[in-house]
Amino acid sequence: MNVRVLVAKVGLDGHDRGIKVVARLLRDAGMEVVYTGLFQTPETVATAAIQEDVDVVGLSMLSGAHMTLAPLVVEALRERGSDIPVVLGGIVPPQDLDELRELGVAAVFGPGASAEEIISKINGIVSHSR
Amino acid sequence: MTEESAREEWRRLFAAAPMRTGKFTTMSGIPLAPVYGPDDAEFPGLYPYTRGVHASMYRTKLWTMRMFAGFGTATDTNTRFREIIRAGGTGLSTAFDMPTLLGLDSDDPMSLGEVGRCGVAIDSLVDVRDLFAGIDLATITTSMTINSPAAVMLALFVAQAEDTGVTRDRLGGTLQNDILKEYQAQKEFVFPPRQSMRLVRDTIAFTTAEMPKWNSVSVSGYHIREAGSTAVEELAFTLANGFAYVELAQQAGLAVDTVAPRLSFFFNAHIDFFEEIAKYRAARRLWAKWMKEHYGASDLRSWQLRFHTQTAGVSLTAQQPEINIARTAIEALAGVLGGTQSLHTNSMDEALALPSEKAARIALRTQQIIANETNVANVADPLGGSWFVEELTDEMEREAEIIFAQISKMGEGSMLEGCIRGIEENWFQGRISDSAYELERSFNSGERVVVGVNEFLEGNNEDDLATLRITNADEHKQLARLNQVRADRDDDQVRTALERLSREASDPELNLMPALIDAAKAYVTVGEMMTALAGVFGRHVEIPSL
């Protein structure tokens, strides 16, 4: 079965180049990708992820709000009884990585991440959680 | 009477221009002419301005070193502004945080985690006062990078200046106010496109009538390129948007020669050195031709495309961030050789965070090296006449014309309608994301080399660069300030101002600027004004597409 991914922009950040490019690269790698558009809240993302029955949620954040918003998406999923893993990509300083992992973010892809790395990590996380 | 040769005409203009002090020779002492070329060549300062908008170019005045800054609270950013001025920066450019760019107050639930993060938080007149404290708005020009709430920010700026005794007609600066590229690329939109264009019309009409030194719109290709377009698409989409604003103003009864001289442009300086230079040259020629031939402009200033340049944020790498200094220097040089009027150089650490003070200073120093050490500013359009650069300029012009024809066709002959329909039909957005994807694939396949990313990786793991940290403390400070503003102001005045704004927004014939300025003076917040307008205009939702 193909891996299903929901990619999402949470909060006010309008930078959508990265999320669109990554979404296409994931499709090229055989994944099914759902994109819910700009200005989502943690709640709308969690609801959509559960409805779409995805294997993983990928957040894209370039505005610096990741420490606040990424954990809220994890929380919104868990509150709805879902254990769908959440990964994060964007401008994330290395100092934030440990705390994000503690708050339940399964993987973080910084601005230097390659397509190969993103695809293999997502595959790894999904096969582990299935 | 014999017709004056291009060179003679240029010489006459050059002789009339003031000169900066400087030694115009090479290091060996060889004298440098202000421009080179045969007598019948294109010359700077002459239509169609391919070689520059001024006959004397940087011999009269170097470009403005305009560094973009903004973070945390208004007080934090004011400190950075003063630092920039002390370090020799000659213009200010304000970066706003995401809530402000989207017209939300800092205490809006959607603002959580975003306050002061990637720009300064501005909620009311009180913040604008702190932002410009100790800075003379009559002498230093200010650029405000804001679009959906541009009219609101202009109102706050005018209110602040008038509070300090500077009348609006003396204010020099630029409002980005380019809403079309928001839907196409930057995606910080609030109202639907057509309603947003009414606010653009109001700001153009207002500044034209009352702020003669103000640039009403900075038509911006920068974000189109950062979102992934090619250089040709950046060139064509940006100029098409510029044509759309001219048509918008014409529909409002403003003559092209009233409006076009106050439009300025903003381009990216990416890493493909010669293509960038050709892009600036083609942009000037295209704009001049279109203003003269399609729009009937006769004022020379309508034909002259003036532009700001920023080096390419997307070309910076998180790997080995120090090498970004070299990228930025090369890109900045392209902007200067292309004849930019002002320049922002990115800091080496911007793939990781907002710039640290040290990184921002190095970025400014990069411009100062180009200006003072390299001697490149002494000769206008030094690459003019190069077979390569001239051919590339012509080719970019041809390719842009093809795109103009497509946009015009979408609008049945109107560029204004073509730009709006292109947005509504996701045409621009689709082209930009296709180009971004193609470029990314060329990096992934190794067809294009990026140092530190797919080649030359030694040194990638030494990560010891100190980056700027913005804590939640700024958010708390800003919320406290906003609460204080709400507590101190006169609620009746606020209510009256908002009622008037809603009422006037419902009448498309009215100009909203006077109502917005009065609201600003009554300490109505950005979020309150924008909410009132959204009540009339509605809100735009982009249909998600990949």
DSSP B437-451: HHHHHHHHTTSS--B
| A14–B467 C-beta distance less than 8 A | no
Check pLDDT > 70 for residue B500: yes
Which of B436, B454, B470 has the CB atom closest to A21's CB atom?
Answer: B436
**Would you say residue A45 has pLDDT above 60?**
yes
B218 pLDDT band, cuts 50/70/90, is very high
pLDDT(A130) > 80: no
Residue A63 lies in a domain: no
Region A82-106: what's the mean pLDDT? 94
Distance from CA of B21 to the nearest CA of A (A): 43
Q: Looking at the complex, does the CB of residue A94 fall below 8 Å from at least one CB of chain B?
A: yes
Confidence of residue B443 (pLDDT cuts 50, 70, 90): very high
A91 CA: distance to closest CA in chain B (Å): 6
Which of B118, B429, B431, B545 is the best mutation test for A, with the most CBs of A within 10 A? B118
**Is A43 within a domain?**
yes
Compare all CA atoms of chain B with the CA of A33 and give the residue at the minimum distance.
Answer: B546
A17–B542: do the CB atoms touch at under 8 Å?
no
Q: Is residue A19 part of a domain?
A: yes
Average pLDDT over residues B537-546: 92
Contacts of B444 in chain A (CB under 8 A): 25, 114-116
Q: Is the pLDDT of residue B536 over 50?
A: yes
What is the structure's pLDDT at B463? 67
Q: Could you give the C-alpha distances from B75 to A41, A43, B87, B104, B204, in angstroms and in order?
A: 30, 34, 19, 20, 30
Our CA-based measurement puts residue B2 at a distance from the nearest CA of chain A, in whole angstroms, of: 56
Structure confidence by residue, pLDDT tens digits, B134-170: 998 888 888 999 999 999 999 999 999 999 999 999 9
As a whole number of angstroms, the distance between CA B432 and CA B183 comes to: 12
Question: What is the number of structural domains in chain A?
Answer: 1
A59 within a domain of the structure (yes/no) = no
CA atoms within 13 A on the CB side of B234: 29
Q: Is the pLDDT of residue B471 over 80?
A: no
> Quick one: average pLDDT of B171-197?
97
Band of pLDDT at residue B2, cut at 50, 70 and 90: low
B73 with B120: CB under 8 angstroms?
A: yes
Identify all chain B residues contacting A20, using CB atoms and an 8 Å cutoff. Answer: 433, 436-437, 546
Mutate to test the interface with B, among A5, A7, A10, A21 (most CBs of B within 10 A): A21
**Closest Cα in chain B, distance from residue A84 (Å):** 22
Is residue A99 less than 8 Å (CB to CB) from chain B?
no
* pLDDT tens by residue, B256-310: 999 999 999 999 999 999 999 999 999 999 999 999 999 999 999 999 999 999 9
User: Is residue B92 over pLDDT 90?
Assistant: no
Cα(B512)–Cα(B532) distance, rounded to whole angstroms? 12
pLDDT > 90? residue B4: no
Cβ separation A65–B440 shorter than 8 A: no
Q: Give the pLDDT score at B472.
A: 80
Of A112, A96, A18, which is closest to residue A61 (Cα–Cα)?
A18
Looking at this protein, which amino acid is placed at residue B227? A
Say whether pLDDT at B400 is over 50. yes
Residue of chain B with shortest Cα separation from A117: B444
* Contact yes or no for B440 and A20 at CB 8 A: no
Please indicate whether, in this complex, the C-beta atoms of B117 and A64 are within 8 angstroms of each other: yes
- Give the total residue count for chain B: 546
What pLDDT, on a 0 to 100 scale, did the predictor assign at position B474? Answer: 87
Residues in chain B closer than 8 A to A68 (CB atoms): 112-114, 472
Euclidean distance between CA atoms B182 and B172, whole angstroms: 24
Scanning A26-85 for CB atoms below 8 A from B yields 27, 33, 35-39, 41, 63-65, 67-69
More confident residue, B478 or B544: B478
Q: Is the pLDDT of residue B177 over 50?
A: yes
Do residue A91 and residue B352 have CB atoms under 8 angstroms apart? yes
Average pLDDT over residues A98-109: 96
Q: What is the mean pLDDT of chain A?
A: 95
Nearest to B403 by CA among B217, B159, B234: B234
* Tens digits of residue pLDDT in B41-63: 999 999 999 999 999 999 999 99
Across the interface, whether the CB atoms of B353 and A114 are under 8 A apart is answered no
- For an interface test with B, give the residue of A5, A13, A17, A44 to mutate (most B CBs within 10 A): A17
Q: Would strands B64-69 and B91-95 be described as parallel, antiparallel, or unpaired?
A: parallel
Q: Chain B residue with minimal CA distance to A27?
A: B546
Band of residue B1 on the pLDDT scale cut at 50, 70, 90: very low
Q: For residue A65, is it within any domain?
A: no
Q: Taking CB atoms and an 8 Å limit, are A12 and B314 in contact across chains?
A: no
Query: Is the Cβ pair A17, B226 closer than 8 Å?
Result: yes
Nearest CA in chain A to B223: A15
pLDDT score for B545: 86
Quick one: average pLDDT of B395-415? 98
Kindly state whether residue A39 falls inside one of the protein's structural domains.
yes
B467 pLDDT higher than 90: no
Chain A: nearest CA to B94, how far in angstroms?
16
| Contact criterion met (CB < 8 Å) for B440 and A25 | yes
Chain B residues touching A110 at Cβ < 8 A = 318
What residue numbers bound the domain in which A17 lies? Answer: 4-54+73-129
Question: Is residue B44 classed as helix, strand or coil in its secondary structure?
Answer: coil
Identify the CATH number of the domain in which residue A115 sits: 3.40.50.280
Judged by a CB distance cut-off of 8 A, whether residue A120 touches chain B is no
Q: At what angle do helices B193-210 and B150-163 cross, to 10 degrees?
A: 30
Q: Which residue of B has its CA nearest to A43?
A: B110
Out of A14, A21, A64, closest to residue B470 by CB: A64
Other CB atoms within 10 Å distance of the CB of residue B212 = 14
Residue A67 in domain: no
Q: Average of pLDDT values for A78-102?
A: 95
How confident is the model at residue B245, as a pLDDT?
Answer: 98
pLDDT at res. B139: 83
- Nearest CB to A93 within list B112, B353, B546: B353
| Nearest to B428, CA basis, from B415, B439, B442, B412 | B415
**For a pLDDT cut of 90, what percent of chain B falls above it?**
88
Q: Are B511 and B501 in contact (CB under 8 A)?
A: no
ipTM over 0.90: yes
Mutate to test the interface with A, among B102, B111, B187, B530 (most CBs of A within 10 A): B187
A93 contacts B437? CB cut-off 8 A: no
CA–CA separation, B519 vs B523, rounded Å? 7
Contact B444 A25 (CB under 8 A): yes
pTM of the model: 0.96
Task: Establish if A122 belongs to a structural domain.
Answer: yes
Q: Looking at residue B15, what is its pLDDT?
A: 97
pLDDT for residue B466 is more than 90: no
Closest CA to B183 of B223, B229, B149: B223
At residue B66, the pLDDT reads 84
- Sorting pLDDT into bands at 50, 70 and 90, what band is B22? confident
| CB of B381 closer than 8 Å to CB of B33 | no
Contact list, A38 vs chain B (CB under 8 Å): 187, 542, 544
Q: Which of A12, A93, A94 sits opposite B98 (nearest CB)?
A: A12
